[in-house]
Structure 1
Amino acid sequence: MASDIVWTPSSTWIDAANMTRFAQSVGLGEADYDTLHRWSVSHPGDFWGAVWDFAGMIGEKGEIAFEPPPEGTMLGAKWFPQARLNFVENLLRGPDETLAVIESDETGITRRITMGRLRDDVARIADGLRDVGVGPGDCVGGVLPNRLEGLVALLATASVGAVWSSCSPDFGAAAILDRLGQIAPKVLFATRRYQYGGRQHDIGERLREVVAGIPSLTRVVLTDGGIGDEIAGASRWEAFGSPSSHLRFERLPFSQPLYVLYTSGTTGKPKAIVHGAGGVLLQHLKEHQLHCDLKPGDAIGWYTNTAWMMYHWLISGLASGATIVLTDGAAIPKTDDGSDAGLLWRLAESAGLTHLGVSPKFMHAVAEAGYRPRDRVDLEKLRVLMSAGAPVAPDQYDWTYEAIKDDMMFASISGGTEIIGCFLIGSPTLPVRRGQLTCKALGQAVQVLDTRNVPVIGRKGELTCTEPFPSMPLTFWGEGGDKRYFDTYFSQRPGIWTHGDLAEETINGSGIIYGRTDTTLKPGGVRIGTSEIYATVEKFPEIADCVVFGAPNGNDEEIVLCLQPRADAGISRELAARIRKAIRETASPRHVPHRIHAVPGVPYTLNGKRVESAARAIMIGEIVKNLDSLSNPEVLDVYRVLGRETAL
């Protein structure tokens, strides 16, 4: 419906879009997006080969783009089997004087790094890695903040053909060992201290525990000065490698392992997902250039840490000739006057950001603070705002165009660590609709299936993908990795990737995400997404945060809503009644919670995602298997004693 449209690209915008030029290059310049998408999934070799050419990928492409998998499966497809390339060679392109990286923290911009300087730093660290015996197939780990050193270590690792895997320094020792300990890295790059919330945090003791727990390490490189005599084999960052080294790239097969990323680990040990260099690069080039309209000279930033897939997505922006902006510290740091909701927006102005990525939680916090970016900073250069990590509520679309900028593309995107990219994403040639993800990503055969495994439109179902794509994982790391990979994504529907999201495809071809299927509510046997409840509750100024989940009640399930009040507020029966009434009116009677509890906090993963499953498990007396995957496990104590008799 026209009333759902909150932004429409102008003809000038559409004519200048990379998406338009790409469609013209494949002979579909007059076709609509749906036709282009159908072509991209029905002719995968032609499509991905065209992306390679359009993006100017560096390497030997070979004559074969795609060898299909055996009949009845998505596994076993071969992409560019004759190709030879190096991931970093594609990122470190352009003149020496080009601005490659802007580094920032809670004080603002701290460094501006040219491509020449970045190449020199990568060459030196790569030389150091070669000197200690690191080569193709070896693993290198990082416990680093989102600063220049982390980027250089990653690029140096990939330039020699080794595999990179990183954790954020705010992870606990057990959480780091659960991840990096699986892959037996030869070298670890780490910091002994990091800044967050205006404070310096010392993790020296934690780091010693990590080093002691990874016997495969032959070298530890400390990025923050000193060598730490207590850490055997430690080297200074400044002394690692020769400053006169020349940059060399190992060109390897398309499927050469590049990254190991990890699932959240809330239901057990984190799964270590192996991604290939060619698939990651091709997927990101497609998403950046076609869906996000990223162009040479643009500046792109995403508020993330080094453990989240959006960090890896961000740095691939270098391959499109863009400047990438690294952000370290808190997004909304505490100040003497309260909280600074303007930090990232001032960065957008000072860095000249054309593309900015945030989360719905951040947007909600900015709105609640009464901060209107358009009234406080100059966002003339900002063309694209993106959000990931959770569904964006419909009213947040309105706030975006009212409080930030009325002429820009807003893209709520959805994908995951598993594909290091997106299934649903934005497009610079399509309108933005309130509460909806604009389109299926090109090259991704996305379908919403019902319980019969039949595609449905206008009804909720499982988000799936029915055809292979290049950024599918190579495997899960470790013994039995192929089987664990299959069991996770293909056991429910053999031959079809089941992503784990409750979703809806609209008649416009856009999508709506209602939440994860493992947290889907089922009162009376009817599946209900959590996003609709969250969207309603977040409108109440008395509520700081909330979590909703289903709990068994006889042979049925009841909805439990836990509310964290603001510091100066409480949860009264009157407020609980108003919240129930609002949920009934904005969602449906089936969404109304049976129980409402006041809690002091809501559990989150280390990557900042709300964890309904942990709250539910504790409340019904089950064991949360991996508390180390949570950033605030202490808040769960109160959920142990939540009883029906104390509910509001």
Structure 2
Amino acid sequence: MEPQWVPSAADIAGARVTDFAAFVTERTGAALPDYQSLWQWSVDELAGFWGALWDYFELGARTGAVLVSNEMPGTQWFPAQRLNYVDQIVRQARTDRPAILGVDEDGSVRELSWAELIGSTVAFARILREHGVGPGDRVAGYLPNIPEAIIAFLATASLGAIWSACGQDYSAQAALDRLGQLEPKVLVTADGYRFGGKVHDKTADIEALRAGLPSLAATVLVSRIGKSLPDVVSWDDVRPDLDATEIETVPVEFGHPLWVLYSSGTTGKPKGIVHGHGGVLLEHLKALALQSDIGRDDTFFWYTSPSWMMWNFQVAGLLVGATIVTYDGSPAAPAPDELWDIAARTGATVVGTSPGYVLGCAKAGAVPRRDHDLSALRMVGITGSSLPSSSSLWLRDNVGEHIPVASISGGTDVVSAFIGGVRTVPVWPGELSAPYLGVALDAWDEQGHPVRGEVGELVITKPMPSMPVRFWDDLDGSRYRDAYFDMFPGVWRHGDWITINDHGSITVHGRSDSTLNRHGIRMGSADIYQTVEALPEVAEALVLGVELPEGRYWMPLFVVPAPGVELTDEVKARINAAIRTEVSPRHVPDEIICAPGIPHTRTGKKLEVPLKKLFQGAELARVVAPTAVDDPALLTWYAQHSPPK
């Protein structure tokens, strides 16, 4: 297989990661002629690498050691250092470009200057202090993806308080399952949002949420749809101090909590994953500037929601002086290619989306390069699930052959990626280009031996500073250890199946706990989806490998037909033939079942593991919490199906 994109000499020479490599060579004398050698140095010399990052980005005087030990969990990073995440954003302030472009579904674009961002942050921090918020207190957001959410986060962080948020597509109960764990002092919310041409009034949910949060001292309300609530502070009272050039920040320890993100919560209350100021700052500077090559000339637009770690990742564009784009609305309304229209209207240079959206555009016959001015675009980012090679090639042919596709894989756990793109490395269809710097990534078999060219568990053998500081309310650390270190003590097992290929790229096959193990041959579900969901007759699919008593194995494929398509025997035969020829004859499903829909977590991941446990005999209430599912009604339909006797 040939690469679909190869960096030019100019790409390599002008890349920020090349400049960083020269910086390291000058400091250490290490010979770093290419990305692979730089990556190897970064994991061999862990303290040297993260210390060099601190110095390269001029974050101030370093105090004390970079790390105390390499042991996981429990590594102590920069134990003597004090800082605040927000300080780096203030350093990037400028007058020649906006900080944020806030796009609404009605097509309007609101520009927020750096002066307005800083002034509004100062003003909102003042309101928080007036309501007793200080270091360690929690501020909760129940908001769409709008500029006010970013201002509220920055004001919270500047005080050393802890931010946590979810989008308004969550019900009041789903939001309470998450935010209620934190006993927040202040709730920042909006009266509603627009999606797909519909207005969603959230005032009733807000009242229910407030009733479940007795710790609240205040609620701040952003008006989006013209509704009102009693006993709130209006966002209109957040009058930006346009004379402010600084934000008075509280210096905190390197590991002081910055925010709490959440696991999907499919089998109980979501785990609150706590990340620290310093770890996030370093990781996001590395991921944005060195891996994604995003800087002060860029406009960065990733379609996301405050519920998803990619919202936090996009905010990091401000750390490198880029303009970021927030969007409150559907990426596929009024037309399937609306996301590309927004990219054109905002002059986005880096656009991020999901494999599902790309496939939807392909099936709709969209040709973004023809219908939209994407002349500013120079990279497309992809995450959420594995990107099929066919979709990667579709992006090449319909968005631009000169535009690299940076498919990334990581997670909420580290609020970043382990694997992804880099400006100096080729892109192969369906593969992720390289491990990120400082990520000691490997593929291991069940005995803990490295494997190459075959499927293995994704493991991280050395710590990263953005690994969780802790889980919320996990007083003895047992839930944290069980989540990542149960299989290989002292080594992070992420729960993904990967193959490290001979040219250094990585193929991600899906979650290892939902792996298809047919006749002793293991395969990730992503391999099936790449083939089946590319068929015009299929809207979406879900495949499961269910181990049953007496050594039986049941492998059903649930299919949602495309509009107007009936799942006839002829269509099923085409699906089976595609799997047989393009994937593996061993992984043709035992049966194909027409389904009314595929249930997902709120962040878009298919519910493979909970449904597998359901079919193995577990009670529905024990395997999945309805509030964690995008369409809970589908669970009843699946619960009515059972494996063959």
TM range (shorter): over 0.9
Deviation at 1:446, TM superposition (A): 0.3
Do residues 127 (structure 1) and 122 (structure 2) align?
no
Of 60, 66, 79, the residue aligned with 1:81 is 79
Q: For the structure 1 residues 157 and 460, does the alpha-carbon distance in structure 2 shift closer, same or farther, using more than 3 Å as the test?
A: same
Work out whether residues 203 and 229 of structure 2, in 8 Å CA contact, stay in contact via their aligned partners in 1: no
Q: Which residue of 1 aligns with 2:4?
A: 6
Q: For the structure 1 residues 244 and 303, does the alpha-carbon distance in structure 2 shift closer, same or farther, using more than 3 Å as the test?
A: closer
Q: Name stretches of at least 5 consecutive residues in structure 2 with no aligned partner.
A: none
Of 508, 515, 518, the residue aligned with 2:513 is 518
Q: 3-state DSSP class of the match of 2:563?
A: coil
Output the CA distance in 1 between the equivalents of 2:31 and 2:350. Answer: 25
Please tell me the residue identity of whatever aligns with 1:100: A
Please tell me the residue identity of whatever aligns with 2:312: H
Output the CA distance in 1 between the equivalents of 2:407 and 2:509. Answer: 13
Of 526, 550, 554, the residue aligned with 1:531 is 526
Q: For the structure 1 residues 614 and 78, does the alpha-carbon distance in structure 2 shift closer, same or farther, using more than 3 Å as the test?
A: closer
Deviation at 1:53, TM superposition (A): 2.0
Output the CA distance in 2 between the equivalents of 1:229 and 1:320. Answer: 37
Of 563, 570, 587, the residue aligned with 1:567 is 563
Q: Tell which deviates more after alignment, 549-558 or 404-413.
A: 549-558
In the comparison of the two structures, how many residue pairs are matched? 634
Structure 2 matches for 1:171-190, cutoff 5 A?
A: 171-190=170-189
Work out whether residues 273 and 477 of structure 1, in 8 Å CA contact, stay in contact via their aligned partners in 2: yes
Please tell me the residue identity of whatever aligns with 2:102: E
Of 397, 407, 412, the residue aligned with 2:407 is 412
TM-score by length of 1: 0.95
Work out whether residues 143 and 189 of structure 1, in 8 Å CA contact, stay in contact via their aligned partners in 2: yes
- C-alpha offsets along residues 438-459 of structure 1, whole Å, 9 cap, x if unaligned? 0011001001000110111101
Do residues 68 (structure 1) and 63 (structure 2) align?
no
Of 589, 612, 631, the residue aligned with 1:593 is 589
Q: Which residue of 1 aligns with 2:47?
A: 45
Do residues 156 (structure 1) and 158 (structure 2) align?
no
Q: Which residue of 2 aligns with 1:95?
A: 94
Q: 3-state DSSP class of the match of 2:554?
A: strand
Q: Which residue of 2 aligns with 1:606?
A: 602
- C-alpha offsets along residues 196-225 of structure 1, whole Å, 9 cap, x if unaligned? 111111121111111111111111111117
- C-alpha offsets along residues 541-586 of structure 1, whole Å, 9 cap, x if unaligned? 1111111112244413221100001221110111111111110111
Output the CA distance in 1 between the equivalents of 2:416 and 2:432. Answer: 14
Deviation at 1:645, TM superposition (A): 7.2
Deviation at 1:522, TM superposition (A): 1.9
Q: Name stretches of at least 5 consecutive residues in structure 1 with no aligned partner.
A: none
Q: 3-state DSSP class of the match of 1:126?
A: helix
Output the CA distance in 1 between the equivalents of 2:139 and 2:516. Answer: 41
Q: 3-state DSSP class of the match of 2:4?
A: strand
Work out whether residues 377 and 403 of structure 2, in 8 Å CA contact, stay in contact via their aligned partners in 1: yes
Please tell me the residue identity of whatever aligns with 1:280: V
- C-alpha offsets along residues 262-300 of structure 1, whole Å, 9 cap, x if unaligned? 000112211100000110010010011111111212110
Output the CA distance in 2 between the equivalents of 1:251 and 1:379. Answer: 42
Please tell me the residue identity of whatever aligns with 1:53: D
- C-alpha offsets along residues 27-59 of structure 1, whole Å, 9 cap, x if unaligned? 1565222211111011111111111222233x4
Q: Tell which deviates more after alignment, 424-433 or 635-644.
A: 635-644
Q: Which residue of 2 aligns with 1:318?
A: 318
Output the CA distance in 2 between the equivalents of 1:12 and 1:561. Answer: 47
Deviation at 1:76, TM superposition (A): 2.3
Work out whether residues 191 and 226 of structure 2, in 8 Å CA contact, stay in contact via their aligned partners in 1: no
Q: 3-state DSSP class of the match of 2:393?
A: helix
Output the CA distance in 1 between the equivalents of 2:203 and 2:49. Answer: 49
Deviation at 1:388, TM superposition (A): 0.3
Do residues 113 (structure 1) and 112 (structure 2) align?
yes
Work out whether residues 119 and 240 of structure 2, in 8 Å CA contact, stay in contact via their aligned partners in 1: no
- C-alpha offsets along residues 587-638 of structure 1, whole Å, 9 cap, x if unaligned? 1112110111001111011122221234334445531331100010112222
Deviation at 1:302, TM superposition (A): 0.4
Q: Which residue of 2 aligns with 1:616?
A: 612
Output the CA distance in 2 between the equivalents of 1:98 and 1:435. Answer: 35
Q: For the structure 1 residues 237 and 79, does the alpha-carbon distance in structure 2 shift closer, same or farther, using more than 3 Å as the test?
A: same
TM-score by length of 2: 0.95
Output the CA distance in 2 between the equivalents of 1:501 and 1:574. Answer: 34
Deviation at 1:242, TM superposition (A): 8.1
Structure 2 matches for 1:443-482, cutoff 5 A?
A: 443-480=438-475, 482=477
Q: Which residue of 2 aligns with 1:144?
A: 143
Work out whether residues 49 and 65 of structure 1, in 8 Å CA contact, stay in contact via their aligned partners in 2: yes
Q: For the structure 1 residues 82 and 552, does the alpha-carbon distance in structure 2 shift closer, same or farther, using more than 3 Å as the test?
A: closer
Identical amino acids, percent of aligned pairs: 38
Deviation at 1:344, TM superposition (A): 1.2
Please tell me the residue identity of whatever aligns with 2:331: A
Q: CA RMSD in A?
A: 1.9
Q: Which residue of 1 aligns with 2:393?
A: 398
Work out whether residues 524 and 556 of structure 1, in 8 Å CA contact, stay in contact via their aligned partners in 2: no
Q: Which residue of 2 aligns with 1:56?
A: 58
Q: Tell which deviates more after alignment, 259-268 or 91-100.
A: 91-100
Deviation at 1:179, TM superposition (A): 0.3
Q: For the structure 1 residues 133 and 575, does the alpha-carbon distance in structure 2 shift closer, same or farther, using more than 3 Å as the test?
A: same
Deviation at 1:320, TM superposition (A): 0.5
Output the CA distance in 2 between the equivalents of 1:315 and 1:419. Answer: 15
